Structure 1
Amino acid sequence: MKTTLRAWQHDCITLALRYYTQQPHFFCQATPGAGKTKMAAELAKQLLLQDKIDLILCFAPSRQTVDGFQKTFSAVLGRRLDGLIGAVGVACTYQGMEYRDAAFWRLFDNYRVFAVFDEIHHCAGHDLLLSNAWGQQIVQRIQDRASFTLALSGTPWRSDHKVIALARYSQPDGMLICDYRYGLQKAIADGVCRSPRIVVLDNDMVRLTETLSTEGTVTTFPSIARLLSESPVSYEDLLFHDDILWQILLMGCRKLNDIRKQHPDAGGLVVATNIEHAHRIAALMHARGEMCQVVTNKTPNAQQVIDDFRSGGCTWIVAVGMISEGTDIPRLQVCCHLSRIRTELHYRQVLGRILRRSSDVDDKAWLFVLAEPALQQYSERLADDLPDDHAVLSVVRASEIEPDDKIEEHSDGPGGLDIAILDSSTGEAFARMGSDHAISILGSSERAAYELNFSQHYRTQLLSVC
């Protein structure tokens, strides 16, 4: 199969082949959606043509990603990667490594193996003592036995700040050393990835009422951040509040409907907190007349549901932990982030699901989030490929919201990030579904009940990486 490589893929392959004459390990960091799997397949093809390897073994964090590897490698190599007789190798999940028998691991002794690791940040550790289960398999069974390894990551750090298997770090500052790096800003400039637009939703007047108090104490907060820091309300409480859901979903639907006027097959993703949450969101979507599907780890034939959505015409898909890193659905252009997970790693992986371009004209991706402090911080430093505070401190061995929105001020943010504060007050909402605009919260000590209400004065902040 003759394929056209992007410039970064060609450069990375050339560099890797040069490195492999001196060392067996190569680490590539490329922004989500840039085409890491295809690059890996083309590199494997070159190693086969140069008669440097016999087998290709690929490892990835999910079944969906494994399926993607099998399809891409088979297309590029013209040979199967399913592990059956006649195949050039096999792709399997990290979780599946511990169930492989001795005959599988002897492949590294009997053949020249090229081992590829997708999203290698899932595998921690440089030694058996300090590794996680997946990292231990790599350290013990692969790193000193494979002829060559290729470690891939779009987000090369771990939330627990542990070292990543097969990675190297500088001393004494502990910064990750990437053999090749292809960042988001470069990918946008090259037309490889869409330019993200992050819309952060806040509220000017949030009212919390203590309903069991004889005085009916009412406290007003000027922002979501103040509410979360100075009250019993948690971020997850907000995610289940209908007013918040209505506003986030409304903005997402308005934006996607606008995009679909030019790109009728464009789709949207809602990342939900749990199964109950996903179905609650789907009910709101259906009440508004939106087409949507729900996929969770309890969904029968979940992979088939994802595949049908990938090539179908359904507008929205609501997912819990199923459409994550490595899942390729290029028609996704809008995402509502409503997951309770608030690590920067997860945030960037969610954003990565809408960055992959499907044509020369779909150049923007839209992510809608709440103005929770951590999510706000992550949004403001998207232009940094590897934020400084994700360095491993020590390595131990053994104007585009809507045409009628009014921009109040605009400033240049750090590192290629544009920030605009927008007035997005809107009285429009989804069908109310019988909501009383309130939420009850039980305190752990006094078990006091509260009601939470939001004013109609929502405001949004637009952040864009350019």
Structure 2
Amino acid sequence: MQPRQWQQQLIQLLRRRLERNQTSDQDVLVFAGPGAGKTLGALLAFKAMQQQGRLQRFVVFCHRTSILSQWQSAAQRLGLQLEEWPCSDQADGLLITYQGAGRQLEQLREDLRQWGLAGSLAIADEAHHLGLNPDEPDNTAWGGTFLELTQHCRLRLGLTGTPFRADNLAFCAARRIRLRQGNELIEQIVPDLAVEPRELIAAGDVRPLEFRFQDGWVEHSREGMPDRDVSPLSAETRESWRARNLRRAIELGDDSGIGQQLLLRAQRKLKQVRMQHPNAAGLVIARDIDHAQAITTLLEEDGHRVDLVHSQESGAAERLNNFQKGSAQWLVSIDMCAEGFDAPRLRVIAYLTTVVTKSRFLQGITRAVRMTPELAAQEPTPRHPSFVYAPADPLLMGYARTWSLAEPYVIQPKQEQLVDVPSGGSWRGPSLPLEAVDDGASQLIRVRSPQLPGFLRQA
């Protein structure tokens, strides 16, 4: 198997770290966009070091049980014996979830001591989950468990496709440097190897994304009262109103509503895509279970085959696997289709949730960038794009403009927040029901990544 260029760079990076043999070189962080081949790259690097006699074994920590089988399949392709813990003495690698390691810490610690870690590589899959907060260690238990169990490993390799956290915390298997920003000293997470999505797109390793943001107006009103305030979805700057607009925009009403228009356009786009890619499918990311069920009903009434999956359903992981290999046209989910979910037939994403953190948005939309060797053999480079439909929320549109770039993760210094509360009560903002307005609901805002101008200008 011929490694990709960045995977060859990773092999060289690990070799240099092992040759220097310095304690400060224990942690290596790799940022590579979704679809880059992080799992295979880490295993290729270990196997190269094992063949050179520099490493003997490896331990993989994952954040979900549904990802374990993907690691085992990749290891099998390379002739590596990767077993779930508890594993045999003949195994090259041990596989466990962060949660499982925390639940059985004492027994795992003893088994690893007997197994031997001096010549081992610890791999933290999606390392940004391993938060570090010295002030609240109980709230970052996964990070503490990982550090304790891997302290005697020769190297710790962190893999991530979203190298930042919404809570402003640092994370394990990552190098931090101090920089001066104005009059303040800040810390920044610095990947040792960064592979940006735009590089992967240019190489044909993943698909580009085209964005379609559904704009419209949302009306704030009180029933029976004449005061009516119309708020533009895409141009609202008041945070409380922006959030209210989004909550109303994703609701399903009549055909003129923002959410309904978005979903209808996503269905039409998938129909077009399936003319070139017959088994292509769409993913709807919903707000909650009731919302997901309403979306599923709507899609089924339009004649589509739909799989509904959420974490509170027994057998959810099996249903996801069936979708990957099946023929359903749409997958509706809430919290299952993010990191590690690999379904190359996904070509259209409808983002209909109120979650607007950058990490969750990027994890959701990038489910549609993955390729297979079979598809790559049929398509030119750059590949045919996938499409993202979402409400024209200002935050989401901002994330879309930079999704293909690797931006530094700056850990901001803590500052005390002083809140002045006027005497006689506190202001909470308008507590008004929301009503979607027909005016402007059909307007569509297209956002293209400015770094990828040429080949995205296709119909």
With normalisation by structure 2, the TM-score equals 0.83
* Residue of structure 2 equivalent to 1:240: 251
Taking a change above 3 Å as real, the CA distance of residues 207 and 393 of structure 1, as seen in their structure-2 partners, is closer
d(CA) in 2 for partners of 1:100, 1:46: 31
CA distance in 2, matches of 1:247, 1:145: 55
2:8 corresponds to 1:10: yes
The separation in 2 between residues aligned to 1:394 and 1:224, in whole angstroms, is 31
Task: Tell me the C-alpha RMSD between the 2 structures.
Answer: 2.5
Distance in 1, matches of 2:154 and 2:232, equals 59
- The residue type paired with residue 89 of structure 1 is G
What SS does the corresponding residue of 1:116 show, helix, strand or coil? strand
Within the candidate set 151, 170, 188, 1:175 is matched to 188
- How many Å separate the matches in 2 of 1:463 and 1:88? 46
Instruction: Please give the alpha-carbon distance, in whole angstroms, between the structure 2 residues aligned to 1:108 and 1:52.
Output: 19
CA distance in structure 2 between the partners assigned to 1:90 and 1:316 by the alignment: 35
Residue equivalent to 2:140: 132
Residues 31-87 of structure 1, C-alpha deviations (whole Å, 9 max, x = no match) = 111110010111121222223333321111111222211221222234242333343
Partners of 1:106 and 1:126 lie apart in 2 by 26
Aligned to 1:462: 446
- What are the within-5 Å matches in structure 2 for residues 427-438 of structure 1? none
Structure 1-normalised TM-score?
A: 0.82
State which of 365, 389, 392 in structure 1 corresponds to 2:386.
365
How far does the alpha carbon of each residue in 1:166-195 deviate from its partner, in whole angstroms, 9 at most, with x for none?
211221242221111100111111111111
- Aligned-pair distance for 1:11? 2.0
Worse-superposed segment, 129-138 or 9-18: 129-138
1:151-300 residue pairs with structure 2 within 5 A? 151-172=158-179, 173-203=186-216, 205-213=217-225, 216-226=226-236, 231=241, 233-242=244-253, 243-300=257-314
Match of 1:417 in 2: none
Cα displacement string for residues 381-436 of structure 1 (whole angstroms, at most 9, x for unaligned residues): 223311x5x411359xxxxxxxxxxxxxxxxxxxxxxxxxxxxxxxxxxxxxxxxx
Structure 2 alignment gaps of length 5 or more:
180-185, 415-426, 453-459
Distance 1:106 1:249, change over 3 A: same
Tell me the amino acid that sits aligned with residue 251 of structure 1: R
The question of whether the paired residues in 1 share the 8 Å contact of 2:308 and 2:332 is answered with yes
Letter in 2 for 1:238: A
The amino acid of 1:250's aligned partner reads L
The number of equivalent residue pairs is 411
Contact kept, 8 Å, 1:109 with 1:145, in 2: the verdict is no
Contact 1:128 1:140 in 2 (8 A): no
Residue 452 in structure 1 maps to residue 436 in structure 2: yes
Q: Describe the shift of the 1:19–1:446 C-alpha distance in structure 2 as closer, same or farther (beyond 3 A).
A: closer
Q: Which letter maps to 2:192?
A: D
Same amino acid, percent of matched pairs: 23
- Counting only pairs closer than 5 Å after superposition, residues 396-411 of structure 1 correspond to structure 2 as none
Structure 1 runs not aligned, ≥5 long? 396-442
Deviations 1:80-130 (A, max 9, x none): 423333432322211111122434223544413221101100111276865
Does 1:106 find its partner at 2:106? Answer: no
- The residue aligned with 1:414 is none
Q: 2:59 aligns with which of 51, 57, 60?
A: 57
1:192-213 residue CA offsets vs partner (Å, 9 max, x unmatched):
111111111111x444443232
2:411 corresponds to: 392
CA separation of 1:127 and 1:71: change in aligned 2, threshold 3 A: farther
Seen in structure 2, the aligned counterparts of structure 1 residues 34 and 182 have a Cα distance that, compared at 3 Å, is same
Distance 1:234 1:450, change over 3 A: closer
Q: 1:159/1:453 Cα in 2 relative to 1: closer, same or farther (>3 Å)?
A: same
| Residue type at the aligned position of 2:64 | S
Contact 1:271 1:338 in 2 (8 A): yes
Q: Which amino acid aligns with 2:411?
A: V
1:381 matched to 2:402: yes
Q: Distance in 2 between matches of 1:209 and 1:247?
A: 22
Change (3 A) 1:108 1:127: farther
